[in-house]
Amino acid sequence: MTSHLKKVELHCHLEGAAPPALTEAQARKYGIDISAQLRDGAYVWHDFASFLECYDKVSEVYKTEEDYALLTETYLDELAGINTIYSELIVSPDHGKRIGLGADAYISGVCEGIRRAKEKSGIEARLIVTGERHFGPESVIGAAEYAAKAGNPLITGFNLAGEERMGRVADYARAFDIARDAGLGITIHAGEVCGAFSVADALDAVRPSRVGHGVRAIEDLDLVRRLADLGTVLEVCPGSNIALGVFPDFASHPLRRLKEAGVRVTISSDDPPFFHTSLKREYELAAGTFGFGDAEIDAMTRTAVEAAFVDDKTRKTLLALI
């Protein structure tokens, strides 16, 4: 049981957290046929590429500022209900542009959702703007420029998600320079679908303080030592990794081995309903399947706050709550 533990999540894609029932209602509202992506209350995909396709299609049923306020509020309410004190949501203003809503209205809807949830439960949240690798370097630079110029105090980080097999990290380095120069925190998906080289590329090309997943670093023990020495924080999402077949089962998942090698690890849910998981389940897995005690789980939660893209006052307040 982990219901008594305070929780923090650093890695969850907003559209990836869309509850199937809400997506179904949205599709009905707009007369969109979502039956190829959502069947019997579950999202339909069979590998990483089809997951990304399904994700993009599902995102298309969220169309207005209010749709985004509702989606954000719904997810943060769920998190607050399991004792979560802080959440970082990965958002894609590009998506707002693609559906004709516009990046500003997309972000404004999300911020309204954060405001509503915080008013009810006190949950704190920040936004990480992401570029999508499969939309190419120019689009990712556009996302970084948007995040850098937004002047929105809730946008505190920049990420690169999407098809990890497309191009090399160095192709996207300029986007990270733009984000870093604007004072944004830097994290990047690496070592999920691609192997250890992808994590090494990320360290070399963008010097992130955190890496999304990073779990395939385990294939190179020198790299594991490098991560430990640098103090790079991994946003580990075990349920996602098993659902996507990154590892065949939890017994072979490297969360414990990375932690024991001195790597700073945290736990998140990634795209919870797509992977039949939730932050609650990820904490339960940490306790049950991985065998971590309460003190060890609290230490991971504290690591997440230490690595959070927040100001020092907020960090202090959050640390005092754990």
Ligand X SMILES: Nc1ncnc2[nH]cnc12
Catalytic residues: 192
Quote the least distance from Cβ 280 to ligand X, whole Å: 19
Among 70, 130, 63, smallest CA distance to 98 is for 63
Q: Find which of Zn ion, ligand X, none residue 192 binds, CB within 5 to 8 Å per kind.
A: ligand X
Residue nearest to ligand X (CB): 161
Q: Is 270 in the site for Zn ion (CB under 5 A)?
A: yes
Q: Is 259 in the site for ligand X (CB under 6 A)?
A: no
Q: Is 94 in the site for Zn ion (CB under 5 A)?
A: no
Taking phi over 0 as left and psi of -120 to 50 as alpha, with beta for the rest, 80 belongs to alpha
Using the rule CB under 5 A, give the single segment among 81-89, 115-123, 196-204, 263-271 that binds Zn ion. Answer: 263-271
What is the rounded distance in angstroms from the CA atom of residue 67 to the CA atom of residue 61? 9
Helix (H) or strand (E) holding 18: none
What is the rounded distance in angstroms from the CA atom of residue 51 to the CA atom of residue 62? 18
Q: Is 282 in the site for ligand X (CB under 6 A)?
A: no
Give the type of residue at 293.
G
CA 129 to chain centre: 10
Q: Is 124 in the site for ligand X (CB under 6 A)?
A: no
Quote the least distance from Cβ 49 to ligand X, whole Å: 11
Q: Find which of ligand X, Zn ion, none residue 240 binds, CB within 5 to 8 Å per kind.
A: ligand X
Quote the least distance from Cβ 319 to ligand X, whole Å: 28
What is the rounded distance in angstroms from the CA atom of residue 277 to the CA atom of residue 268? 10
Residues 191, 213 contacting (CB under 8 angstroms) = yes
* Residues, the chain: 322
Determine which residue in the list 162, 185, 214, 238 makes contact with ligand X, applying CB under 6 A: 162
Whether 134 has a binding-site annotation, put simply, is no
Quote the least distance from Cβ 268 to Zn ion, whole Å: 8
Going by their DSSP bridges, the two strands 84-91 and 7-13 should be labelled as: parallel
Residues that bind Zn ion (CB under 5 A): 270
Residues that bind ligand X (CB under 6 A): 13, 16, 55, 161-162, 189, 192, 240, 270-271
